[in-house]
Amino acid sequence: MAEIVTTAVIEAPPRRFAKTLRALLAQPKVVWGGGFILFLIALALLAPFIAPHDPLAQDLMSGTLPPIGFAEHDVHFILGTDDLGRDVLSRLIYGTRVALTVAFVAAILAAVFGTLLGLLAGYYGGVTDTIVSRLIEIWMAFPPVLLSILVVAIMGSGVTSVIAAIAIIDWTRFARVVRAETMAQAQADYVTAARTLGFSRLAILFREILPNVAPVLLALLTLEMGIAVIVEAILSFVGLSVSSDTPTWGGMIAQGRQIIYQAWWVFAAPLAALFATVLAFNQLGDGLRRALDPVMQR
Partner 1 sequence: MSAPLLSISHLVAVSRRDGKPLLRDVSLDIARGEVHGLVGESGAGKSTIAKAILGILPHGISISGGSIALEGEDLLTFDAATLRARLGPAVSLIPQDPLTALNPGRRIEAQLTDGLRLWKGMTAKQARERALQLLEEVQMREPARVMRAYPHELSGGMRQRVLIAAAFALEPKLVIADEPTTALDVTVQKQILRLIRTMQERHGTGVVFVTHDLGVVAQICDRATLLYMGKVMEQGSVRDLLDRPRHAYTKALMEACPRYDQPGRGLAPVPEAVFAACRAEIAAFDRAEAGHA
Residues that bind partner 1 (CB under 8 A): 5-6, 8-9, 12, 16, 188-190, 192-200, 207-208, 211-212, 214, 294-295, 297-298
Task: Give CA–CA dist 138/135, Å, rounded.
Answer: 5
Closest CB to partner 1 among 12 and 57? 12
Closest CB to partner 1 among 8 and 18? 8
Q: What is the nearest approach in angstroms of partner 1 to the Cβ of residue 120?
A: 17
Task: Give CA–CA dist 25/34, Å, rounded.
Answer: 10
DSSP 8-state assignment for residue 66: P
Q: What is the nearest approach in angstroms of partner 1 to the Cβ of residue 152?
A: 39
Q: What is the nearest approach in angstroms of partner 1 to the Cβ of residue 291?
A: 14
CB-neighbour burial class of residue 16 (10 A; exposed 0-12, middle 13-18, buried 19+): exposed
Q: What is the nearest approach in angstroms of partner 1 to the Cβ of residue 4?
A: 10
Q: What is the nearest approach in angstroms of partner 1 to the Cβ of residue 124?
A: 12
Closest CB to partner 1 among 82 and 208? 208
Please report, for residues 48, 142, 269, the alpha-carbon distance to residue 250 in angstroms, rounded to integers and kept in the order given: 20, 23, 11
Q: Which residues, other chains included, contact 210 with Cβ-Cβ below 8 Å and sequence gap of 6+?
A: 115, 119
Closest CB to partner 1 among 167 and 194? 194
Of residues 84, 87, 60, the one with CA closest to residue 76 = 87
Closest CB to partner 1 among 9 and 141? 9
DSSP 8-state assignment for residue 74: -
